[in-house]
A and B are shown apart, each in its own frame.
Chain A
Amino acid sequence: PEETVTSSFASFIHAVRPEHLSKTVRHRSKRMILDSIGVGLVGSTTHVFDIALQYCRELYSSGAVSSVYGKPGIKLSPTLAAFTNGVATHSMDFDDTWHPATHPSGAVLPALLAASQMLPPSTKPNGMDFLLAFNVGLEVQGRLMHFSTEAHDIPKRFHPPSVVGTMGSAAATAKLLSLSTAQCAHALGIAASLAGAPMANAATQAKPLHIGNATRLGFEAALLAARGMEANPLILDDIPGCSGFSVFYSVYQPKPLSTPSDHHEFLLEKQDIAFKRFPAHLGMHWVVDAALSVRNLFINYAGSFCPSLIRTIVLKIPVSKYINRPFPSSEHQARHSFQFNACAALLDGEVGLSSFTESNIQRQELRELLDKVVVEHPEDNVANFDKMYGEVALLLHSGDVLTGKCDTFYGHWRKPLSKESLLKKFRANASHVLPEEKIETIITMVDNLENLSDSSQL
């Protein structure tokens, strides 16, 4: 197997030894070390240093006050709790998706939950404050994405939650903490310097970190701004020759938000969210619904599901490299594979949590089906969550062809989950770690969020 650039780096890091250092290199690097320490020592007398230090000391000594999902006995410092909970939220790619594409809630909610526990009893935000801050976080994300036409399609370079999610978290936390206008601007500026992770880590175990970091780092940005840290006040503007937030896009046209007089129209008003029915990338949901419909046709045709009658399975999907995987080998890859999800749906009649266990991924019957899959990219199938479709065609040995097509899966914003379905999903999920009464309490609390007097109860 030929060596990749990445593995050559890893080999180097691992195998290099002191003997490999030449005299010149040793000499020069010692000078650098000396200089660097000196510079650091004098730097410890600066104002920016004081701010950073105070921030860290407070984080350390204030200790563990924020809760971690599903672990009643454990508490962590607020930003780390946000981080951990953010990771939890995106760990199975089961969280919500918006249009233009990002996972908005996971980047905002954990920070707000942690922050509300952090505030002293006299200034605890009520349910309404909480809900408002949450929406501010969502709104900022949506608005930022509208600055670039690139954002309307499934991403290729930067993973959107790591770009806009960080900004959203900063905005939401700034709101909850009631920062001044100037401080809000600085929170956004600091957050921009913490944003941006490349797509390549999608479909790996590191992907959940994107949401974890978005919520944590945005939170940190707000905390730093609260302590007086200043950043570039033009971070969202387009300044040629010196990139701000625009750096994450090749086309960037920012527009001001309308000042909220009595009537601000939130994007969430016009554009709803998609909720996932099973834990995999959103694109999979079209293909699964299409596969389920063709499966029914097949069962009517043949009496039962007989894979041996199938010669080829044709998937008509949009072009998107990171979700086109003919033979996924891990659960993370499986969640990002059109082929896998189609076959699992065909074989089992449904796709759920257990579809992604190690044993189910490796099953013989599934692998056999995967062998029969062929992928096509029709020109009219655009890589865009608002416009794409999924089509599954079974070409039988007998010459017959059965097809199923899905334009809008159940859970998409055009066909939202009913209240019952949503609750069913929540109960199923929560029951893995919580007892029934707690589950019901949470449901009730969220339902009545605006009337809650102390949001840290959540």
Chain B
Amino acid sequence: TITGNFANVIHGLNANHLTDQVIQRSKRMILDTLGVGLLGTSTEVCHKVTQYSKIYSSNISSTIWGHLDFRLPPLYAAFVNGVAVHSMDFDDTWHPATHPSGAVLPAVIALSEALPQKQKFSGLDLLLAFNVGIEVQGRLLRFSSEARNIPKRFHPPTVVGTMGSAAACAKLLALDQMKCKNALAIAASYAGAPLANAATQTKPLHVGNAAKHGLEAACLASQGLQGNKQILDMESGIGAFYTDYNPQTLPTLQSYPWLLDQQDVAIKRFPAHLGTHWVADAASSVRRKLVESSDNLLPLDKIEKVILKVPEVKYVNRPSPTSEHEARHSFQFVACSALLDGSMSVQSFASEKVHRPALRELLCKTHLEHPPDNTPSFESLYCEVSVVLRDGNMISDRCDTFYGHWRKPLEKEDLEKKFQSNASSVLPAEAIEGIIETVYNLEKVEDCSVL
């Protein structure tokens, strides 16, 4: 591969490969760059970033969720927590497609913990800033028809998530109008990561970086750094990330129509790509039917073929995943897993489960089909799972809307159950209840740093 080859070259080059001419020219470059850099330290922009960077040598810090034993500078707290949120692909998804909360919440929480004592934020301030961050993301996504479908080029959280984080932090910092503009402009220069890193260990960094860089952009703007004030208008601004880009002004503030009002998010029941949730529900129901008709046991050896009718989404089409990251992005894996176990959970992706022989066998029998009416959009896709038995019988079921999708949102109890089960891996029961309490009453909380 090209990539492997690059790595070989980087690794294999040594001093003997340099010629005289190359040495001479590169030394000139080094000298010139040093001079230019030395001069540049007297500029305004450089003063600003030095001031900003000095933050890291002070005592300002924020917490890592669930770990009270040490603290990190706010930027890195936002980064680490953002990575945590997306580390298992368990976080929320919206339409048009992105993971809105992970890019915003870690940043605003880190920021609220870091600011000097005299500036306490109430729960309501936090809630407002959070919603500003979500809203901005939703609005930006509507500027391109490309965004309606499951992405192919840029991973959306890295484009709109960074902008959302900047907006939310700008709000919390109460920046003036001019500085808000600059925060957005600066954030745009951090936005954008390619989809190829989905299904790898690097993907969680996309959300971590979105949170971190948005926060950084807002901080730099607050220090007075300026960017292009038409960053959202120009094709060479945020438009650079889309092939078609049609920005529109936001509605007036009077009775502001929030997007979250019109369009809810989907909350995942198990940690894998959203597309697999349709597959899981359909597969679970097929399994129930199978089991009913054969004495409550899954007749594995009687299964000839498993057919999945899904939309065409290359990065979730993996016939034989080898890592947990790949398994979370595999229609096939989730279907087989659900058929074997009846339901999906956090444990379904443990290494032993990914590699068990029964699953591997079933995977070999699994095929995908892409019916033309199955569009790759989280709003309209469906999944049909059909199991063909050796005796010729076929059991199928279809899922149009999985439980947790915005059309069929999780009940309060189930949402809480998910939280409790997640949080209990690092927090004691009372802390868990405390958080649930606090979040439910967020607007009444006086000092949101208790969170």
In the complex, how many residues of chain B place their beta carbon closer than 8 angstroms to a beta carbon of chain A?
175
A-side interface residues, number (CB < 8 Å): 183
A13 with B132, Cβ < 8 A, contacts A257-B6, A430-B38 known? yes
User: When the two chains form the complex, which single residue of A59, A104, A205 contacts B226, counting CB atoms closer than 8 Å?
Assistant: A205
A13 and B41 within 8 A (CB)? no
- Interface segment among B172-180, B277-285, B330-338, B391-399: the answer is B172-180
Residue A282, interface by CB 8 Å:
no
Q: Which of B73, B233, B312 contacts A6 (CB 8 A)?
A: B233
**Chain B contacts for A56, CB-based, 8 A:** 72, 76, 79-80
Q: How far is B25's CA from A138's CA once the two chains are assembled, in angstroms?
A: 12
Closest to B17 in A: A264
Q: CB < 8 Å: which of B53, B189, B199 contacts A84?
A: B53
> With contacts defined as CB atoms under 8 Å apart, how many contacts are there between chain A and chain B in the complex?
604
Task: Give CA–CA (A21, B282) in the complex, Å.
Answer: 37
Closest to A183 in B: B7
Contact A204 B227, CB 8 Å, known A16-B256, A198-B237 = yes
Q: Decide if B15 touches A230 in the complex (CB within 8 Å).
A: no
B388 within 8 A of A: no
Q: Is B319 located at the chain interface by the 8 A CB criterion?
A: no
Q: How far is the CB of A16 from chain B (nearest CB, A)?
A: 6
Task: Encode contact with A along B112-133: 1 for CB under 8 Å, 0 otherwise.
Answer: 0000000000001101101110
Q: Inside 8 A of A157's CB, which chain B residues have their CB?
A: 235-236, 240
Q: Does A88 contact B194, Cβ atoms closer than 8 Å?
A: no
User: Looking across the interface, which residue of chain B has its beta carbon closest to that of A63?
Assistant: B57
Q: Shortest beta-carbon distance, B173 to chain A, in Å?
A: 10
Query: Which of A116-124, A236-244, A340-348, A382-390 participates in binding chain B?
Result: A236-244
Q: What sequence of 0s and 1s flags, for each residue 96-112 of chain A, a beta carbon within 8 Å of any chain B beta carbon?
A: 10000000111001100
Report whether B225 and A205 are in contact in the complex, using a CB–CB cutoff of 8 Å.
yes
Q: How far is the CA of A247 from the CA of B153 in the complex (A)?
A: 6
Q: Is A162 an interface residue (CB 8 A)?
A: yes
Contact partner of B194 among A230, A247, A321, A433, CB < 8 A? A247
Cβ–Cβ contact A135 & B177, under 8 A: no
Closest to A159 in B: B189
A158 to chain B: which residues have CB within 8 Å?
240
Q: Are B202 and A193 in contact (CB under 8 A)?
A: yes
A192 touching B45, Cβ below 8 Å? no
Please determine whether B49 and A212 come into contact, CB atoms closer than 8 angstroms.
yes
Q: Which residue of B lies closest to A171 (CB)?
A: B10
How many angstroms from the CA of A104 to the CA of B1 in the assembled complex?
A: 25
Interface of chain B, helix or strand or loop or mixed?
helix
Q: Does A189 contact B (CB under 8 A)?
A: yes
B88 touches A42 (CB 8 A): yes
Q: Which of B202, B233, B314 has the most CB of A within 10 A?
A: B202
B92 interface residue, CB < 8 Å from A?
yes
B369 close to chain A: CB less than 8 A: no
A231 with B56, Cβ < 8 A, contacts A131-B18, A185-B7 known: no
Is B189 touching A209 in the complex (CB atoms < 8 A)?
Answer: yes
B310 CB → nearest A CB, Å: 14
* Nearest neighbor of B254 in chain A, beta-carbon distance: A20
What residues on A are CB-neighbors of B25 within 8 Å? 268, 272-273
CA distance A239 to B315 in the complex (A): 10
Task: Give the residues in chain B near A41, CB-CB below 8 Å.
Answer: 65-66, 84, 422-423, 425-427
B166-189 vs A, CB cutoff 8 Å, 1 = contact: the mask equals 010011000111101110111011
B124 to chain A, nearest CB (A): 5
- B28: chain A residues within 8 A (beta carbon): 273, 275, 419, 422
Contact flag A132-B18 (CB < 8 Å), given A231-B202, A234-B196: yes
Residue B190, interface by CB 8 Å? yes
* Set of chain A residues within 8 Å of B366, measured between Cβ atoms: none
Contact A109 B30 (CB under 8 A): yes
Instruction: Compute how far the CA of A419 lies from the CA of B25 in the bound complex, rounded to whole angstroms.
Output: 11
Q: Is the CB of B1 within 8 A of A237?
A: yes
- Give every chain A residue within 8 A of B90 (Cβ-Cβ): 39, 42-43
B247 interfacial contact with A, CB 8 Å = yes
CA distance in complex: A77, B315 (Å): 37
B425 touches A206 (CB 8 A): no
A92 nearest CB neighbor, chain B only: B40
Answer whether residue A399 sits at the interface, using C-beta atoms and an 8 A cutoff.
no
Docked complex Cα distance between A246 and B2 (Å) = 12
- Evaluate contact between A30 and B53: CB separation under 8 angstroms: no
- Among B23, B72, B83, B208, the most chain A Cβ lie within 10 Å of the Cβ of B83
Given contacts A52-B205, A188-B3, A188-B7, whether A38 and B233 have CB atoms under 8 Å apart is no
Residues A197 and B189 in contact in the complex (CB < 8 Å), given A21-B131, A135-B26, A136-B10: yes
Distance between Cα atoms of A40 and B152 in the complex (Å): 26
Give the distance in Å from the alpha carbon of A210 to the alpha carbon of B241 in the complex: 16
Contact with A along B397-429 (1 / 0, CB 8 A): 000000000000000000110111111011100
Q: In the assembled complex, which residues on chain B have CB atoms less than 8 Å from the CB atom of A45?
A: 425-426
Q: In the complex, which of the residues A30, A162, A189, A423 contacts B440, with contact meaning CB atoms closer than 8 Å?
A: A30
Judge if A219 is at the interface, Cβ distance under 8 Å: no
Docked complex Cα distance between A45 and B346 (Å): 12
Chain B residues near A256: list those with CB within 8 A: 2, 5-6
State how many angstroms separate the Cβ of B114 from the closest Cβ of chain A.
14
Cα separation A136 to B80 with both chains bound (whole Å)? 31
B240 touches A192 (CB 8 A): no
By a CB distance below 8 angstroms, the chain B residues around A43 are: 83-88, 90, 204
A230 to B193, CA, bound (A): 15
Pair A22/B6 contact, Cβ less than 8 Å: no
Q: Are A180 and B11 in contact (CB under 8 A)?
A: yes
* Residues 429-458 of A at the B interface (beta carbon under 8 Å): 429-430, 432-434, 442-443, 446-447, 449-450
- Among A63, A186, A201, the residue within 8 A (CB) of B188 is A201
Could you tell me the distance between the alpha carbons of A15 and B206 in the complex, rounded to whole angstroms? 30
- Given A56-B79, A234-B1: A33 touches B40 (CB 8 Å cut-off): no
Q: Per a CB cutoff under 8 Å, which of B27, B202, B267 touches A31?
A: B267
**A391 on interface, CB distance cutoff 8 Å:** no
Interface status of A12 (Cβ within 8 A of chain B): yes
Contact B30 A230 (CB under 8 A): no
Known: A63-B57, A198-B238. Contact between A234 and B3, CB under 8 A?
Answer: yes
Q: Do A90 and B40 touch (CB < 8 A)?
A: yes
- CB-defined contacts of A59 to chain B, threshold 8 Å: 76
Q: Does A260 contact B (CB under 8 A)?
A: yes
The segment out of A68-76, A305-313, A400-408 that lies at the interface is: A68-76
Is A317 part of the binding interface, using a Cβ–Cβ cutoff of 8 Å? no
Residue B146, interface by CB 8 Å:
no
A194 at interface by CB-CB < 8 Å: yes
Complex Cα distance, B123 from A30, in Å, reads: 11
Q: Are A232 and B423 in contact (CB-based, < 8 A)?
A: no
* B200 in contact (CB, < 8 A): yes
Asked if A12 and B250 make an inter-chain contact with CB atoms under 8 angstroms apart, the answer reads yes
Residue interface bits B142-162, CB-to-A below 8 A is 1, else 0 = 000000000011110010000
Cross-chain contact A42 with B425 (CB below 8 angstroms)? yes
- A429 engages B426 (CB within 8 Å): no
Question: Which residue of chain A has the shortest Cβ distance to B126 in the bound complex?
Answer: A33
CA distance A81 to B178 in the complex (A): 28
Asked whether any CB of chain B lies closer than 8 Å to the CB of A9, the reply is yes
Most buried by A among B17, B54, B230, B237: B17
Other 6 A-B pairs with CB < 8 A, given A10-B180, A43-B85, A428-B35? A6-B184, A39-B88, A80-B53, A110-B37, A234-B1, A275-B32
24 A-B pairs (CB sep. < 8 Å): A21-B127, A25-B131, A25-B258, A25-B260, A28-B265, A33-B105, A34-B439, A35-B101, A41-B423, A48-B83, A88-B41, A91-B45, A179-B11, A184-B11, A194-B209, A198-B234, A204-B185, A204-B229, A230-B200, A231-B197, A242-B198, A244-B195, A256-B6, A260-B17
